Every structure is written in structure tokens, then in C-alpha cells.
Amino acid sequence: MNVGIIGSGTMGSGIAQVAATAGCSVKLYDTNIDALHKAENTLDKILSRLIEKGRIDSAEKSRIQSNIDYVNSLHELGNSNLTIEAIVEDLDIKKKVFEHLETYVSEDCIIASNTSSLSIASIASALKKPERCIGIHFFNPAPLMKLVEVVPAIQTSEEVLSKSVDVITNWKKTVAVAKDTPGFIVNRVARPFYGEALRIYEEGIADFATIDWSLKTIGGFRMGPFELMDFIGNDVNYAVTESVFTAFYFDSRYKPSFTQKRLAEAGYLGRKSGKGYYDYSEGTAKPNP
């Protein structure tokens, strides 16, 4: 199966790894050459670590790597049977990319988005054949997280839904089919988790590290809300919150936080930029005052 991935950032590179591991021939596309190089180098490191841990051998590493082509023009995705878009969480930009993509791929290519929060119906409306559009929403890190939400829009055909579920199941993931509503299942439940933690911090009740410590030690969560926002990326997490807030007609339950907005504006994106709620510059995380 030929799979085209659009966007080679955190999610696109992880999804490419999943598809390549499952034996698909993957074209990973990004407008930014540096992002493509970074994706290639990161995959090399991840696979080398898996060899060190004895999970794969060097033949498997070469097989996975040889299944991925890193490409810098969209038309190279022309022979795809399935494309999954994982670019910036911006409806207008996604719609433009989908419009272009449709001119290159065949009639029966499934065109999917990994959006966390945007309306699949709205993204699909950019296509001449909206019935081929669907949400296929992986979680971060895509190679490790089992769950994938598959989200049909009202325009999506039954055939595209069932083919998508089959592909993702073959990629050894667990599928939850969710309705096309803001944040689907997991990101909707997660909004109050981040939002309330930010409110607790903004009200001066506790600092980031204490809130994270409490949730992990007492709540049993693997990561605290601030660690998790830094892991996801504050730009991405803020954009998702803003999108869910707007889509739910400004329901205060989903209100975004100025603390996070300022971090995103300053480029304090979290782990990927070396600084967020925590400072990662010395290899270990310290609360960033």
C-alpha cells in the first residue's frame, strides 16, 4: 500500500514510522527541508535505540528506513492509496493543502486528516469528492500509543470508513470510531485537565511542578498536565484549546489560558524548542520561572 504523509513534524514522522513498520511504502512530505532532515535523523536514532534494547535487529531497521521517502513536493504523493495530513492546526491552511492534493491523487485515494480538533466536515468541503475524506487521529507518540480515533464526517462514505478502520487495525492499532465533534473523544475530555491545571496555577494555588507532582503521585497519571503540554507542544495544545472553545460556542469550560498563549507566542513550545513550562536545556527538566 502506498501512503502519503503531509507534514513531517512530531505526528507526521511518527505516523510515517508506524506505516513503514507495517510494510507500507511511505512518502513523507514537508514544505520545510529542515523538518524532513530532522524527521530522518530522529527516526534513525529511534530505530538505533530499539536495536540497543533488543526489540529489532539491524535488518528490520533498514527495512523500515527503506520504506520511507522524504519528499519536498506534494505531487510526489500522486500514487498514494491513502494520505494522512499532519500539518499546522489551521483550517484554512489544511483546506488549501487538501484542494491541491486532490489534483494529484487518484479518484479512490482516501484523504485523511490527523487534526485534533477541527471539523472533518469542514476540511472535507474543500474536496471535489468529500466522501473520500475522514479523520484519522493518532496520539503522541504515534508509534507507542495504541489508540487511534477514526472520525467520519457527514460526507464520508461507508466504504472509506470501513477501509480506514481496516488499514489502521492492520497497523496494529486499536480503533475508536468517534463522531465529528470538536476534540472528538480524548481531546475533549483532556481540555478540562489542562485548563483547570492552568487556572490553579494562575490563581496562585500551586506552581507547575507541584501540580504535576500531585497529579502523578496522588492521581496516578503517568505525566502531569504541564509535562504533557510541553510534550505535545504549547503551540499545538493552545491551538487545539482555542479551536474547541470556539467550536463549542465559547463555552467557558474550554476557555484557553493567557499563560499558555504567551508561551506559544514567545516560542516556548516545550520539549521540541527546549523550553516551555520547564527548561530542558541541561537535559533534565527544571520549572521555568
What is the binding site for ligand NAI (CB under 6 A)?
6-12, 30-32, 35, 86-89, 93, 97, 114-116, 138-140, 232-233, 236, 240
Query: How many Å apart are CA 227 and CA 166, to the nearest integer?
Result: 33
CB closer to ligand NAI, 86 vs 160: 86
Q: Which is nearer to ligand NAI, 63 or 280 (CB)?
A: 280
Using CB atoms, what's the residue nearest to ligand NAI? 9
25 is catalytic: no
Q: Do 241 and 194 meet the contact criterion of CB atoms below 8 Å apart? A: yes
Catalytic residue among 85, 89, 102, 149: 149
Q: Which is nearer to ligand NAI, 62 or 103 (CB)?
A: 103
Q: Please identify which of the residues 67, 119, 164, 187 carries the catalytic annotation.
A: 187
> Among the options 117, 137, 164, 242, which is catalytic?
137
Collect all residues with Cβ–Cβ distance below 8 Å to 142 and sequence separation of at least 6. 11, 14, 15, 17, 18
Q: Whose CA is closest to 50, among 76, 21, 71, 30?
A: 21
Active site residue 187: yes
**Shortest Cβ 124–ligand NAI spacing (Å):** 15
Residue 158 annotated to the active site: no
Question: Minimum Å distance from CB 130 to ligand NAI?
Answer: 19
Alpha-carbon span 157 to 119, nearest angstrom: 16
C-alpha to C-alpha distance for 168 and 178, rounded to whole angstroms: 14
Of 115 and 257, which CB lies nearer to ligand NAI in the complex structure? 115
Q: How many angstroms separate the CA atoms of 171 and 270, rounded?
A: 29
Of 13, 113, 116, 257, the active-site residue reads 116
137 a catalytic residue: yes
For every residue of 14-81, DSSP letters joined together read HHHHHHHHTT-EEEEE-S-HHHHHHHHHHHHHHHHHHHHTTSS-HHHHHHHHHTEEEESSGGGGTT-S
Catalytic residues: 116, 137, 149, 187
